[in-house]
Structure 1
């Protein structure tokens, strides 16, 4: 398992947290959103998932991974 922390812009409320965590779960990753820190800590199996796929899943929800 691999852990990465991504900076994410555009998050402002609990709905944002739920949206991102759900999107990550759907692709097989676990995410913990830090609204105050504007970041998402993601745990995933690097044999089954890439960082690019994780970034795409977050961006598909309308947020910017920087």
Structure 2
């Protein structure tokens, strides 16, 4: 499980766009967005940098949570 902080999400469309971007990355089994927390939890074994790049390229800056 990988959790990322995602900026600029404010509605259901944003959550759908982030989910779609995340699930296109190789190794991702699924993605669950927590809109209120501004996070996405991704299951599977993806390359974290590829995941961050895909979500950021979709217009939602992403970073690893600590």
Q: Fold conserved (TM > 0.5)? A: yes
Moved over 3 A (4+): none
Q: How does 1:16-31 map to 2 (within 5 A)?
A: 16-28=14-26, 29=28, 30-31=30-31
Task: Give the root-mean-square deviation of aligned CA atoms.
Answer: 1.2
Equivalenced residue count is 61
Question: 3-state DSSP class of the match of 1:55?
Answer: helix
Structure showing greater Rg = 1
TM-score by length of 1: 0.82
Q: Which whole-Å CA distance do the structure 2 matches of 1:4 and 1:33 have between them?
A: 12
Using the size of structure 2 for normalisation, the TM-score is 0.82
Q: Is 1:60 paired with 2:54?
A: no
Match of 2:8 in 1: 10
| Unaligned residue ranges in structure 1 (runs of 5+) | none
Q: Distance in 1 between matches of 2:6 and 2:16?
A: 14
Structure 2: any 5+ residue segments left out of the alignment? none
1:16 counterpart SS class: helix
